[in-house]
Amino acid sequence: MKTVGNPKTLTRLTDRVRSLTPDAPRQWGMMNVQQALSHLAGSMEWVLRGGEPQTAWSERYSKVIRFVAFRVPLPWPKSIPNPNDPASVEVSVEDFDDLRDRVIAGLEKMAAWNVSAETPTHPAFGPLTTWEWQRWAYKHADHHLKQFGA
């Protein structure tokens, strides 16, 4: 199963991020490419800095969702509601290169990163192992890259 911890997978993923353009049309959802990059960068930065603890769904539900999301070889569903609504964030086209660089840096840091006491709890999946966080980073980026044809 692909994770950002695998150097070849990481390279392919960052190449896909580099292939994005500011005018990449979305295939589904409400976000434009700048909002998707901001969402990806912000979510990885939240993990890496040990963001505010989140309340996960019930432990039993989180375990089921985590198993399906990380172990079942299916793409994530499209247009999943997000309580933070990244589509409502105003992001300028001028920020595109910086956002793309932040996503690449986040992926590279997630690849070399290990879970610690400061690691936040994922709001849907609950506490994650290093492998699960690296799988999450891959699946999350892959999902949004496909959203823009990359």
| Confidence (pLDDT) at 116 | 82
Section 81-99 average pLDDT: 71
What's the CA angle centered on 117, arms 119 and 125, to 5 degrees?
Answer: 40
The position carrying tokens 């997978």 is 9
Cα dihedral 37→77→54→110 (10° resolution): -50
In terms of average pLDDT, the best of 5-19, 38-52, 64-78, 110-124 is 5-19
Rounded distance between C-alpha atoms, residue 128 and residue 113, angstroms: 13
The pLDDT value recorded for residue 7 is: 98
Q: For residues 129 and 115, what is the distance between their CA atoms, to the nearest angstrom? A: 6
* The pLDDT value given to residue 124: 82
This prediction has a pTM of 0.85
Q: Is 7-147 in CATH node 1.20.120?
A: yes
| 113-142 pLDDT per residue, tens | 988 877 888 888 888 899 999 999 999 999
